[in-house]
Amino acid sequence: VAILLAILAIGLALGLTLRDKDSSSASAAADGSSASQDGVSGESMDSNNPTTPEEQQEEEETNDEGDTTDTTPTAAATWPHEESDIPKDPKLRVGTLDNGLKYMILPHPWPTSKVSFRLHIDAGALHEDDDQNGLAHFLEHMMFNGLRSYEGNELVAVMQRFGMDIGPHINAYTTYDETVYRLESPDNTTEVIDLCFTVMRDWLDGALLDVDEIEAERGVVVSELQGGDQVRRRLSEQLYEFLIPSSLITRRNVIGTVESLQNLAPQEFVEFYKEYYTPKRATFVVAGDIEVDEIEAQVIETFSSATNPENPGQ
């Protein structure tokens, strides 16, 4: 397996190198041709839109300042389908609250009476500081250890009374750039749907992050790290280091290291949570045997009061 991965990586690297060389040669040939036609050595000018010396100087000063494009979630003013030639499902209803939270609602009558919920947070391991490796994933664990409406492990006990359990019905995952929380409702009664909405809102901004609970969960996360320390993961890390050595991904292990997990302070959880678990970084999804108008009204009622911090995470 290691040999095959190495061969694949080398082939990909050579292919990218040759493509870059071909592109550079083609670009140089085109520039040379343009320069000859314009009669200007090493320069080309658009005769239909000539640039004055003042405009050229202003453009150079702008380029010197670097790329100032806003890459935060608030810069995305449209849904992906609005800029695509692939139309969205006509049954899908999407919207954005005044606080920036996006929602998607899809009615689906089968399986009967079942409803799926997702809360997507646009933040993961890449949003951690260098000394916080594993924080985003550790924080995900803490969402099951004390919320505004359910202290300690009370959440799991309440869910179990409605036929929901950790794993098949209640779960979450963290990656490099996102954290997603999942609820699978066994029925679509008002009581169960209300419960799911309460939990989802608490996950957005109602985590208690109790110091004692953090310390109790620390050993659980370290055990998960050690149990998952397998050849496959180590090969993946080496492949990233070979293919994209300058990428931040090579310095971020989603689950962290034993050292980083042991040194994470409780205040770091609080700060990361406040900076990144915000309406502008959240997308709420509901799909299943539902009435769209009723669910949309409940989304607005449940999430409209959520606020964004003055200094959100970048």
The two structure tokens encoding residue 112: 């009967």
DSSP states along 146-185: -BSSS-TTHHHHHHHHTT--BTTTEEEEE-SS-EEEEEEE
- By C-alpha distance, which of 100, 163, 148 is closest to 304? 100
124 close to 179: Cβ distance less than 8 angstroms: yes
Identify the burial level of 193 via C-beta atoms within 10 angstroms of its C-beta, where 0-12 means exposed, 13-18 middle and 19 or more buried. Answer: buried
- By C-alpha distance, which of 70, 314, 299 is closest to 200? 299
Give me the active site residues, please.
140
313/17 Cα distance (integer angstroms): 36
- By C-alpha distance, which of 285, 229, 226 is closest to 89? 285
Residue 187: count other Cβ atoms within 10 Å of its Cβ.
Answer: 14
What are 284's strand-pairing partners? 103, 119
The two structure tokens encoding residue 127: 């949003």
Identify the burial level of 279 via C-beta atoms within 10 angstroms of its C-beta, where 0-12 means exposed, 13-18 middle and 19 or more buried. Answer: buried
292 close to 105: Cβ distance less than 8 angstroms: yes
94 close to 224: Cβ distance less than 8 angstroms: no
